[in-house]
Amino acid sequence: MAILDAGAQYGKVIDRRVRELRVRAELVPMSTPASQLVKAGFSGIIISGGPESVYGPKAPKFDSEIFSCGIPVLGICYGMQLLNYHLGGVVSKKETREDGVFHVEIVTKSILFDGISSPSRVLLTHGDSVIEIAPDLEVVALSPEGIPSALQHKTKPLYGVQFHPEVDLSVDGKALLSNFLFKVCNLKPNFDFGSRKQAAIDYIRGVVGDASVLILVSGGVDSSVCAALLYEALGKDRCYAIHIDNGFMRLDESRKVADALKSIGLELKVVHAQERFYNAKTEIDGVETPMLKTVLAPEVKRKIIGDTFIRVSEEEIRGLGIDPASIFLAQGTLRPDLIESASHIASSKAEVIKTHHNDTALVRALRKAGRVVEPLQDYHKDEVRELGKDLGLPEALVWRQPFPGPGLAIRIICSESPYYHEQQDSIS
């Protein structure tokens, strides 16, 4: 299933719902040529929602052949409006938006709504609406205000829904997506967990070959599971796993992570750098900061921790005698991260928000040389947890709360003076 990204608020959720139905999905830029989708063998196309107007100057570019290339299409929100607009209908902004949960009335028989009772509760979030229906389309469902909430082509497998079937607030949304995948696109639910795990192992072996791999284990779920997967794919002699304890971890975190990986046979080198971090300084815009243990501002803390992490990790890597030309770097990048990247590619407006705390000189060199391996790129967070259990990691580790690298240092509430409450003469 190809998901054309029109800048969707729920793009990752569409992808997730399709995969829950055991169908492989790929989120691709809205401008992807139809010929490329046909050549790649996609069985269906979902056009996501988006913030722009189909008639506006900032509307995402798209190949109009997607509506005539023979691949079934489901347009969601913006996608439905685009379908109607492209086929000659009228889309316009109404005086009031439809925002919230509504019950839509199914008025025309459609395979898309097979088995779904009318009315159906859905989530609507749109300012533009379909005002005039394209000649080759027909209305399938209406909102309480009489606005088209679902359309279908009279002869071709082209469908559109104004609501969001991917969210839980649309109670029949999963059934609708199932109808599109299996009854319209004739797909089979065979994208299972076991095949994806083996695919990740094959990916690691295929990319790495006979080389070794370095992974910086933060203490979080993703990097720990990534390390365990590397061990299963390559064996411990070709895996270098390093964890830097910056002193701002959760209680016994470093020990627990090391014990968890040791339980499956992988040795984790733990670098105890607590005092170094407590007393660390750095420069921001040419000005030296105070020591970390005296700093209150979260952004300053993050910068000190990030720079110190880079310095400590580079020292440890040099101590291993690692040549960037002979090793790969493994990262626990998840599918949502790649989906967000795809969205930026689609809009061509990618911006750097912050430098990651493990962006060392070696990391940059490996990335430039194409020696970065990301075996979890096909997984969402909950799927990574299941993979971790399958790899033998303790549930206490794989089901823990997500926890970014700077850790508690950023989340500790600080004040320049102690909080106090004046004693009142009387308490009411």
Which of the residues are catalytic?
77, 164, 166
Token match 């830029």: residue?
Answer: 29
Q: Dig out the tokens for 164 from the structure.
A: 């969001």
Torsion of Cα atoms, 102 then 105 then 111 then 117, to 10°: 80
Q: Give the integer Cα–Cα distance in Å for 237 and 27.
A: 36
Cβ proximity of 99 and 123 under 8 Å:
no
For residues 244 and 407, the answer to whether their CB atoms sit within 8 Å is: no
Burial class (CB in 10 A: 0-12, 13-18, 19+), 82: buried
Write out the E strands in 345-411.
Answer: 372-373
Sign of the torsion angle spanned by Cα atoms 109, 111, 113, 114: positive
The first and second tokens of residue 326, run together, are 């002979």
- Give the integer Cα–Cα distance in Å for 330 and 332: 7
Q: How far is C-alpha 385 from the geometric centre of its chain's CA atoms?
A: 15
268 by DSSP, 3-state: which?
strand
